Structures are given as structure tokens and as C-alpha cells.
Copies of this chain bind each other. A is one copy, B any other.
């Protein structure tokens, strides 16, 4: 800790006008520390679904080829021409990647807040986290309790705050129970634990019997398996039982969002006193917060007129609730990082391994709950 490094390797993603994705490692200088900054040695950063879009630029990873040297490998792949127009804003610009991570503070600016973090393990939300070192403002760091490792703190922002944000959004918008899709994910398990702790009823939509079993093991009362023939009926019953008229959907594409709205309408009409030509008056809200299914969203509008479907993102949500409330959510994450908010990874890889052909092909297709963790310090 006596020698402060002046530079380190950083993973870069480039999408060219010619339709090529190029991943590489670059040596970048650490900028000078401001008063309120710290230098973090990054030791863990997850590959979240939300990172994959920026990392791989919608490339067809089956066309990927290896290049560069053993020390500084590169990876190239073709991007389907139809996808290129969605990346107009990043063409020919080499971009760093990685929303969040965990590491150790090895140098600190002069302010008391910065000095207080010296030597601490921190979870950070900083962008460019697939880097060996990062200079960050203290506000981007969440100090962990003693004994927590960087790997344990690597996912302390995106998933925990998203899961907490769903429950807060439910309260803010006057709903009293929730539906969640892709529910067996790391995030989904966190959400179930929060709902158990906060006494909120949650309907978990999963796609496989083993995911249903996993959710029941951690205490889920309502699990609907979309692979069952009785799925939409099961879902309507669960909604009628819980009053869950707000859903968060990680998939986005296909018919699932519409199926949820239809099941809500069936549940609402099951208790309605008289026929309404415009459908039930029960407000119904589905938020799409991910895009696991890239296909178009298809809505068979058999759910009346009192419905809403929209996008949901963590950052605008945190801005909306304000700094104090957001800080309370962050502190809860730090306090429960190894229980409610524990994350699991299928594999830990180095920065160089991240650019290896077989590794990239594996994380490009990572299934729900099969997350990779990058350790840039190895």
C-alpha cells in the first residue's frame, strides 16, 4: 500500500462504422486525486445483463475471432447490419465497461470523508469498472463492514438497489403486492428475501420446475411456472389472492407482459359487481426493467383500459426519491450484504480471460442467475 500505481489495464469495447466489435485491453493513467476522491484497486466486478449490451454491442458472438498477444489479447466479432443503427451514438469510440464492483481503497484525497475510506473494502458504482484501478468520488463508494471481501461487495449497487427500488416503487404508487419475472435470478432471490422481511406478498414467475423449487426453498409462497399449461390460470389465482397489480418484468419481449396484464384483469373481474364495457377499473402496472428477450413486446389487449406498461430504470428512480432516502437504501445493502443481498457467481475470470474466445461465448449467453465475476487484479 506504500506505492501508489500510476496506471493500470482497462477493458475497452469498440464498435466500428464498418460493423465490427473489438474488445481490447489498454493501459490507462490514473487521474490525480481530488479532495473528495479515492483510488480503488478493483478486485471484483460482475458481468450484469445491463453490462452485456455495452460490452458486446449486439455482436454475433459466434463470429468472434481471437487476436493480439497472450499479454494483451483482443477479440473481434461481426455486428449484424440491422443492429448498427441502434449504436449510432458510440460508433468508432473506444468505451470502458462495467457498472459496479468491489475493491480496496489504496489512496485517498484530503477530505475527511475520503480519508475515512483509506484501507476499506468498498462497493462502488462508477462505470469503467473492468479496470485495475479506478479514481472515484466518495459518493460513488459504499463502505463495507469489516470482514466483507471485495467479491462479496461487487454487486452491492445494481441488483440490491433495483430490488429495493421495486418495493419502494410499489409503495410510492399505491400498490400493495408485486409480481416479478425471471424470479430465480440473483436479483429475484434478493427481492423475495426483502419481501419476506418487509411482509410484502410477491408472485414469482419462473420458467422451470427447478427454479420454482429454488424459490420455495428460500421461502417463496407464490411461484408460477410459465412452462406449465395452467400458467395463466395459476397467475390469475395468485393475483386474486394477493392483490398484486404491479409487476416488474426482466424479459420485455414476447407475450409475457401482456399475459400478466390479462391475468390481472381476470383477477380484477372475478370480484367485480357488474359488467363494464371498458373492462375493470382496477389500475394495473407492468414495468419492463430488462431485455432478456429481444423480440417485440406483443400485447393482446384483453385487459380493459386501466393499464400501464413502461420502462423502469434504477438511476432515475434514485434521483426521484432523493439523496436521503437513497442513502437509507444503500446502508441497508451494506448491513445485509452477506444475507439478503448475497450474490452468487458461476465463475471468476481475469481481465485477460474476459477476452478469451470460449469465455466470451459463455458469458454472452449466460442464463438467469449464471453470472460471471471479473477480477481485474489477477
Contact = CB atoms under 8 A, between A and B. Distances in A.
A252 B301 contact: yes
A18 interface: no
A313 interface: yes
Interface centre among A278, A289, A300 (most CB of B within 10 A): A278
Contacts of A289: 305
Report the interface size class on chain A. 35 or more
Contact of A305 (B274, B308, B309, B311): B311
A62 B35 CA distance: 78
A24 B54 CA distance: 63
A301 B302 CA distance: 21
A310 B307 contact: yes
A68 interface: no
Contacts of A305: 288-289, 311-313
Interface of A is mostly: mixed
A272 B90 CA distance: 12
A37 to B, nearest CB: 22
Nearest to A97: B277
Contact of A308 (B89, B297, B309, B316): B309
Contacts of A275: 89-90, 93
A185 B313 CA distance: 37
Nearest to A294: B301
Interface in A294-331: 296-302, 304-313, 316
A251 B132 CA distance: 53
A328 B242 CA distance: 40
B297 A301 contact: yes
B310 A308 contact: yes
B308 A308 contact: yes
A86 B272 contact: no
Given A277-B53, A297-B299, A301-B297, A309 B309 contact: yes
B311 A306 contact: yes
Contact of A89 (B88, B269, B311): B269
A311 B276 CA distance: 15
Nearest to A276: B89
Interface centre among A90, A299, A307, A313 (most CB of B within 10 A): A299
Given A89-B272, A277-B53, A309-B308, A299 B302 contact: no
Interface string A81-109: 00000101110010000000000000000
B309 A301 contact: no
Contacts of A304: 311
A119 interface: no
A316 B281 CA distance: 8
Given A89-B269, A89-B276, A90-B275, A316 B311 contact: no
Contacts of A258: 296
Contacts of A88: 269
Given A305-B312, A308-B311, 10 more contacts: A88-B269, A89-B269, A89-B275, A281-B316, A291-B301, A296-B299, A296-B301, A305-B311, A305-B313, A307-B310
Interface of A: 50, 53-54, 86, 88-90, 93, 252-253, 258, 269, 272, 274-278, 281, 288-289, 291, 296-302, 304-313, 316
